[in-house]
Amino acid sequence: MKYNERLIQSGLLITAFSTIAILILIGVFILKEGLPVILKVGIKDFICGVNWSPIEEQFGIFPMIMGSIWITAGALLFSLPLSLACAIYLAEFSTPKIGKILKPTIELLAGIPSVVYGFMGMVILFPLIRNYLGGPGPCILAASIILGIMILPTITSISIDSLQAVPYSYREGSLALGATRWQTVKMVVLPAARSGIIAGIILGVGRAVGETMAVIMIAGNAVIIPDSILDPVRTLTTNIALEMNFATGEHRQALFATGIVLFIVIMLLNIIANLIAKRKVITK
């Protein structure tokens, strides 16, 4: 009996390490495939190079890095006010009943497949942009709006949780001093929930940087360094997805190398979000 129990515990310990094992496997395989080309080109030329031309063996991903930054910044600009407003409304102003219905409703946005988002961008945003702003349609603006909607549930949901985690006594204290609800939220609740909200925003950024299919469908995918929000761009993720099907040899390695950069960025964002979220616990 005792022996069995020990066996079970060891078995469970092994399963418990599965996520870490998978993470390591992912890291190892992507590094193995992608590192040779980075070393050959040189880290600096790979990251800062502006030429991406696999036929001429030119592998510089600077335009894609800029593309990812532009689109992510645009998505945040669009998403941040909206998602924070939703979170504050649902956590602080709506009746609990409405909050209970609307929170999962907004979270449902996260369940809609990214290809559907991309498609909505194509059929709804492209004509609007063509008619009112000019250009063919696919551009940073379209991708930012769609990505903004896609990361909205992440930021909203985590923010609601952080707001609700603020002890009720904080609010009572402020309200008892004659503050209005909004003053209380602004001066007491938001500062107290700050680290959780920031962690949520960082995770939202991670989602935006990592999104692929929706961006492929609406960002235009041209390898240029953009200077207007109506320019088409290619991101790190779409660079991989666009060329993976026909890439071979060094070209394919360069795509994995793009994956390495993406993986490192995402891991850093995760670590930062985790550290910030943890700080909240300690200061309490």
Partner 1 sequence: MKIKPAFTEQIVKKILFISTAFTVLILLFIIFYILKNGLSVIDLEFLLTSPKELGRAGGIFPCIIGTILLPLIAIIIATPLGVGTAIYLTEYKREGRLTRIIRFGTECLAGVPSIIFGLFGFVLFVIYLGFGWSILSGGLTLAFMILPTIIRTSEEAIRAIPYSYREVSLSLGGTKWQTITRVVLPSALPGIVTGVILGIGRSVGETAAVIFTAGSSLRVPASLFDSCRTMAVHFYILAREGISMENAYGTAAILIIAILFINLVSYWLMHRFMAKFS
Give residues 242-261 in contact with partner 1 (rule: CB under 8 A).
Answer: 244, 255-256, 259
User: Binders of partner 1 among 5-24, rule CB under 8 A?
Assistant: 5, 8-9, 11-13, 15-20, 22-23
Which of residues 69, 73, 213, 272 is near partner 1 by CB under 8 A? 213
Stretch that binds partner 1, among 40-48, 49-57, 164-172, 269-277 (CB under 8 A): 269-277
Give the residue, chosen from 39, 42, 51, 104, that forms a contact with partner 1 under the rule CB under 8 A.
104
Q: Which of 59, 65, 114, 129 binds partner 1 (CB under 8 A)?
A: 114
Among 42, 182, 249, 279, binds partner 1 (CB under 8 A): 182
The binder of partner 1 chosen from 140, 188, 269, 276 (CB under 8 A): 269
Q: Which of 237, 186, 275, 272 is nearest to 68 (CA)?
A: 237
Which range binds partner 1 by CB under 8 A, 36-44, 102-110, 127-135, 160-168? 102-110
Rounded Cα–Cα distance for residues 124 and 149 (Å): 14
**Of residues 30-59, which lie at the interface with partner 1 (CB under 8 A)?**
30, 32-33
Distance CA 30, CA 17 (A): 20
By the rule CB under 8 A, 174 interacts with partner 1: no
Partners of 233 in beta bridges:
220
CA-angle at 50, arms to 44 and 51, nearest 5°? 110
Tokens of 282: 């300690």
How many residues make contact with partner 1 (CB under 8 A)? Answer: 84
Q: Which residue in 108, 128, 165, 177 binds partner 1 (CB under 8 A)?
A: 108
For partner 1, give the closer residue by CB, 50 or 242.
242
| Rounded least distance, CB 187 to partner 1, Å | 11
Judged by CB, which is closer to partner 1: 42, or 81? 81
Answer for which of 47, 89, 224, 229 binds partner 1 (CB under 8 A) is 89
Residue 150 binding partner 1, by CB under 8 A: no
Options 212, 223, 226, 231; binder of partner 1; rule CB under 8 A: 212
Q: Near partner 1 by CB under 8 A, which window of 89-97, 134-142, 190-198, 224-232?
A: 89-97
From CA 175, how far away is CA 202, in angstroms rounded? 31
| Separation CA 162–CA 200 (nearest Å) | 9
Residue 29 binding partner 1, by CB under 8 A: yes
The reply on whether position 82 binds partner 1 by CB under 8 A is yes
Q: How far is the CB of 52 from partner 1 (least distance, A)?
A: 17
